[in-house]
Every structure is written in structure tokens, then in C-alpha cells.
Structure 1
Amino acid sequence: MSRSSNALDAVEAAVAAFARGEPVLIHDAADREGETDIVYPAHAVDADAVRRMREDAGGLVCVALSDRVADAWDLPFVQETIDHPAAADHELAYDERSSFSLTVNHRDTFTGITDDDRALTVSRLGEAARAPAGIDFASEFRAPGHVHLLRAAPDLLGDRQGHTELAVALAAAADLPPAAVVCEMLDGETGGARTPADARAYAEREGLVYVEGADLLARLA
């Protein structure tokens, strides 16, 4: 089977898995962050999913939202709202800007950090993204909280090729609400990014789909 056929199979498998509510591993690019994220449809996240991200991935649990959803909820880029010298110069080695918006908890959570609490916040964000205009965001969520929100670029992969956009594009391809959880996979021994080979091996052990960001970009952009 040719490399292009393998790439197409991986993308199709990723879309199908996402549509079933299953996580997918996405490696962005060696010349970008060079990281693999475990990615879930936000509405499908439960406490077990949060535990997997916490124990097996180890990065930040973030919810990537489409630009349309972020606009409906009036979500800013957080660096544009901070009146502090640390926010004045925000150059990134791998991109022009950060996608970070607010941090939030659902108002029915207690501390917001437990697996159950974060699962409630994440899953409700996913459900709310189905019809964002009908949601009074401030009545349902409070900030600051323990779940980081990421605002995707308006034209998704046409504007930016980060995990934020790859995850939202995957949700669109799977005909799901435009809200997806991303969590960086770290090496438990070194604390650095898990290598693509290690991430692929993890996916094989766990029966999950691993896909290259370049292949998603080629098929979904």
C-alpha cells in the first residue's frame, strides 16, 4: 500500500473514531510544536477521559472552539485583555500568536479541578457549541476556572495549522459540534514532548487512531 493510501486510511479512521466519540492522537508537525495531542470530541468527555488525559498525556486540558462559537460567546484572546507588561510581547517560536482565551468552570462544579468537575465543564461546553447563540455563557460558566478555552482561527486550517484548528477541523469532518479537547502528551520520564514513535506505540497499545497533522491538513483544509 502506498504512503498516500496509508495517510488517507489514517485520516478516514480518525474521522470515524471521532464521530464515535473516541479520542484520536494528532501529531502537528516536526517544524511546529513537534507535539502529539490526545484529542476528544468535547461533548463525549467523561471523568474517565479526563483521567486518561491527566495520567497518560499530562499536558493542559483545553477546549478548542471554532471562531463562530467564540464570537457568539464573546470570548477574547486572553493576551489582548491583560494589562500587564508580560502580555505586551508574546512572540512564539512556533507561531504568530497564542490561541488561549478564558479559563472557565461550569457553575455546577465545586472546585472545578476534579475529574468529575472538569468532565462536566468540558462536556457541557461541547453540548453548548451545538447552538451557541442560544446559550447565556456567563450564566452557565464562570471565569477564571480550571479548563482552558482556545479560540480557533476564523478560516481554521487556511489561517493556522495548530492543534486548535486541527481538532476543530476534525470535529467538522465528523459532523460534530465545533468543540474539541486537546491535551499534550508528555514523556513521563523526561517531562519533554512524547516522541511521535512513542505516541504511535501508545495508540497501538490502547487501540486508538494516530494521525499526522500534515495528513489531516492535506485532506481537510
Structure 2
Amino acid sequence: MAASESTAAADAIAAFRDGKPVLVYDADDREGEVDLIYPADAVTPGDVARLRNDAGGLICVALSDDIADAFGLPFLQESLDHPASESGDLEYDDRASFSLPVNHRDTYTGITDEDRALTITEVARAAETPDATDFAAEFRTPGHVFLLRAAPGLLADRDGHTEYGVALARAAGRAPAAVVCEMLDDETGAALSPDDAAAYADRHGLVYVTGTELKAALA
């Protein structure tokens, strides 16, 4: 890890270890977006409220490839038999990471902050003991929390927020699951700029880190 890149990446890992979120910008030549990323096992209903109010994108849980295999989770595209199914024409990547959208079976509608926090933390708990989890018995689909399936080699294979989140969780010694949510600009409706995201991080005492810094430290 280069000295110039060590501080932000190390701070991000330490924040994750403490159960705190970090802001991660992927790259100018990729999505060009900042995601607010939490360790999934630490998420509370208040954190879900922050994700939908301050970030505003889609609240998802990223899982490692081996955990997704253990749960029998497909890429969503592989499960859809419809002409609108993604056909490899994404401009920023070869494919999307989407797997199934789920609710925990102890939720009601699944959309409230409490319900989504329960689903998220139960997915994280299951990810710690995948061999002891009957996924279909604990979760149902369709639901309100999208699961994402990371590339097998994480950042060695793909530079997405899905992979950054799982890599951070692993480096921090937490459950191998991370919540990712795009940060949007309330005024323009577009992705929040890196400068505005960094300013948000400063205001709230959070770590802002770039994908380049994380990859140098974690790949």
C-alpha cells in the first residue's frame, strides 16, 4: 500500500471495523458515483433512514461469490425469461451484480426501516454461517432488499461498489456482507459529485475514499 494511499484506505477499514459507514467513489471512467457503504451486520433502522434520506439510491446488500453460491443465489439476469432482460449492453461494465430481492420472513411488508434493517442484518448473520442456513426458509423473494453477487476475485476481477463493500468487510473482520447505496443530488437528481460527497463526509465525520485507494490496499 503506497504511503500516499494508505491513510484513506486504512481509515475506511478502521471505520468499518467500528461499524461505521464510509463513502466510496468508484472512478471517472466507470459509474462515476459515490456509494454510502455500511457493514451489513451493524445496520440499524436509523441507518436505513439515513441511506434513503441522505443517499437516496437503491439499498442493496453485497455478498461474496462463495456465500452467494452457498445460498444458491443466481445473477438476476440468469433467472429472467423476458426480452427486457439485460443483454450485456451496460456502458460502464460487462454485467450488473443483481441477484434476488428478498425480505426476511419475520418482516411484514418488508419496506419499513425496521423491516429492511432486519432483513439486512439477518442476511449478514446468515453469511457468517452459510452452511447452517436454510436460505429459503429464512428469506422470501420478491422483497425489498436487493442482494448483489460479487465477482469471485473481488477487486482483482471487478472494480464495482459491490466488490469494494465485500473487500472492506473482509479486511475489517466483519460478516462478509456490505450495504451499498448510491448517493444522489437532491437538486439535480443526478449522482452526487465527488466534491459534494467529500464535503458530506467532512460534515458528518465520515471517511471518503476512492476506488483507486481501496484497490491499492485491498486487491
TM-score, L = length of structure 1: 0.97
Q: Does 2:203 match 1:205?
A: yes
* 2:139 match: 141
Where does residue 116 of structure 2 map in the other structure? Answer: 118
Which residue is equivalent to 1:176? 174
Please, which runs of 5 or more residues in structure 2 have no aligned partner? none
Output the CA distance in 2 between the equivalents of 1:122 and 1:88: 26
Give a deviation string over 1:74-101, Cα, whole Å, max 9, x none: 0000101111011162410000001000
| Matched ranges for 1:26-65 at <5 A | 26-65=24-63
2:84 alignment partner, one of 83, 86, 98: 86
Q: What percent of counterpart residues are identical? A: 62
Query: Where do residues 14-29 of structure 1 align in structure 2 (5 Å cutoff)?
Result: 14-29=12-27
Deviations 1:8-34, CA, capped at 9 Å, x for gaps: 111110000000100000000011000
Residue identity in the other structure for 2:199: A
Per the alignment, residue 67 of structure 2 pairs with 69
Q: Distance in 2 between matches of 1:127 and 1:149?
A: 14
CA–CA distance in structure 1, aligned partners of residues 197 and 86 of structure 2: 35
Aligned-pair Cα RMSD in Å:
0.9
Q: Letter of the aligned partner of 2:192 in structure 1? A: R
Give the drift of 1:176. Answer: 1.2
Paired position in structure 2 for 1:108: 106
Select 2:156's aligned residue among 150, 154, 158: 158
Amino acid at match of 1:38: L
- String of CA shifts for 1:45-97, please: whole Å, max 9, x gaps: 01000000000000000000000100000000010111101116241000000
The gaps in structure 1 that reach 5 residues or longer are: none
Correspondence for 1:8: 6
| SS of the residue 1:129 aligns to | helix
Whole-angstrom CA distance in 2 between matches of 1:217 and 1:49: 26
Q: Deviations over 1:83-142 (max 9, x none)?
A: 101116241000000100000000000000000000000011111111111100001000
Please report the TM-score for the alignment, with normalisation by the length of structure 2. 0.98
